[in-house]
Structures are given as C-alpha cells and as structure tokens.
Amino acid sequence: MRPFAIGTLSEQTGVKIPTIRFYESIGLLPAPERTQTNRRTYDESTVRRLRFIRNARELGFEVEAIRSLLDLADNPGKPREEVDAAARDHLADIDDRIARLTRLRSEVQVLADPRPSGQAGGERLLQALSDHDLSHHETC
C-alpha cells in the first residue's frame, strides 16, 4: 500500500490530527517519513500503532503505561523477566480499574433503581457517591 497523508491516518483511526502530532512529539508514534514538499506520510504499521494507543487511552491507560507497553512490543528480544514484570504490573493496573469500575457501576445502579418514597433524588445521589471511596489512591 502506498504511503498516505495525516488526514487519511486520522480518518482511518478516529484520532484527530493535533493528537497525532502530539503523539509524535512525545515519541509514542515514530517520526513520519516526509515527502519532498515536507508533508508527513504514514503506512499501515502507523495505523495499527495509533489504534492501539487510542484504545489504550480509551481504557484509561496513562501515556507512560502505553509507552511501556509499546516498548515491550517494539523490543521482542527483551529479557523474559522484564517482560513478565511489566505484564504483571499492567495486569494489576487492569484488575484495579475493573474493581473501581465495578464499584462505580454498583453505585450508579443504586441511582437508577426506583427511589423509596420520601427520599429526594439529589439526596440519594449525594449519599450513594459519598458512602464509598471510588477513587484510586495512586495517580491514574
């Protein structure tokens, strides 16, 4: 397949052009090839990488966690111990996110259930979201 422009990359991945440029500037995406007129060009490998980044961000992964995962993918020859440790760290993060989302789902379900008579919706919302600590104590 022929190289394509940044607009096509944006269309194929659903990622806005300024975001693509940002990911390039912080090294999540490699510097693109340039035409003689200095226009960026991309290929299918960039599409796959950018879709991975977009999906990871939608799942709540921070940039540094994504960088770490991409590093593992880019360096298949890394020592097995490093790969295993990184995988365990990411698995623990995923498990933590699932637990927090499960707690949040339970609280929202309480709000969606019919209210007992006499209890205002606002009061119930305040009670439901203040009774449980849904926060993550580390930086997400």
27-37 pLDDT, tens digit each: 999 999 998 99
Share of the chain above pLDDT 90, in %: 35
Give me 42's structure tokens. Answer: 């991309």
Task: Just give the CATH number of 1-61.
Answer: 1.10.1660.10
What is the secondary structure of the chain as a DSSP string?
A: ---B-HHHHHHHHT--HHHHHHHHHTTSSPPPEE-TT--EEB-HHHHHHHHHHHHHHHTT--HHHHHHHHHHHH-TTS-HHHHHHHHHHHHHHHHHHHHHHHHHHHHHHHHHSPPPTT--HHHHHHHHHHHS----SS--
List CB contacts of 12: < 8 A, sequence separation 6 or more. 47
Q: Is the pTM of this model over 0.85?
A: no
Domain boundaries, the chain: 1-61, 77-140
In this predicted model, what pLDDT tens digit does every residue of 44-56 receive, in sequence order? 999 999 999 999 8
**How large is the average pLDDT for residues 68-82?**
82
* Confidence label for 128 from pLDDT (cuts 50, 70 and 90): low
